[in-house]
Structure 1
């Protein structure tokens, strides 16, 4: 947890966002490694699905934190943002989508592949996404590419 806090500003540690996570409101498939990490990543446990990279910031604040959200339930990338944005606003954050792509998650083999792009938001910086995922999925092989498929 210390590494995650060193690399991601502590926006609301112990605040409402973390209290909600302790109440079990995490995304399915997110390892419960730590509350801060669970807040940072919420993706489906298996399959290939769309994801977005979102930057959170407190209104008027300078500190920022990037989070990853992905799900098979989203037909389009904006469907993920439309769900995340109001949730984060309730917790006192402003959100900006930095881009999107796809994630291929194989929990059996402990592998995650990040690739592709979002037509609406553009391509997320997959290297940033991978670094965030590595903080949560510490025993996974996680790779990325600019491939579209």
Structure 2
């Protein structure tokens, strides 16, 4: 699997859920990009990383997590709100997360706060 074959964003369709920012790096080229992953089914931020590792399933790509938080998604109002932190990984740079989300959801209002859990 190559880096450009990995979706930048995979988040649940509605509601409030934990998310992590992931740095994916191609071992052969050293190229990297940031990914956003968030799933309500994962009770811990580490579970999201594990699920992503299983889906990428490539010895050519290394994944690391610089931080996490939560996302609240409302499709009716077309809003995404990024906030909080991960007890295990620390707080993600929410401004980077918002930039990535804006590419995937250009018609949504996307905001963040470094407050809350």
TM-score norm. by structure 1 comes to 0.73
* Superposed structure 1 runs of 4+ greater than 3 Å apart: none
Between the aligned partners of 2:111 and 2:76, the Cα distance in structure 1 is: 16
Contact preservation (8 Å) 1:88, 1:95: no
Cα distance change of structure 1 residues 99 and 12 upon mapping to structure 2, 3 Å threshold: closer
Higher strand share: 2
Q: RMSD between aligned alpha carbons? A: 1.5
TM-score norm. by structure 2 comes to 0.92
Residue ranges of structure 2 left out of the alignment (5+ in a row): none
2:27 to 49, 59, 83: 59
SS at match of 2:16: strand
By how many angstroms is 1:90 displaced? Answer: 2.4
After superposition, the C-alpha distances for 1:98-137 in whole angstroms (9 at most, x for unaligned) are 1000000001100000000000000000000000000000
1:137 to 105, 109, 114: 105
Residue ranges of structure 1 left out of the alignment (5+ in a row): 1-10, 19-38
Higher helix share: 1
The 5 A counterparts of 1:109-124 are 109-124=77-92
Tell which structure's C-alpha radius of gyration is larger. 1
Count of equivalent residues: 116
Q: Which has the higher contact order (CA 8 A, sep 6+)?
A: 2
The 5 A counterparts of 1:1-149 are 12-13=3-4, 17=5, 39-90=7-58, 92-149=60-117
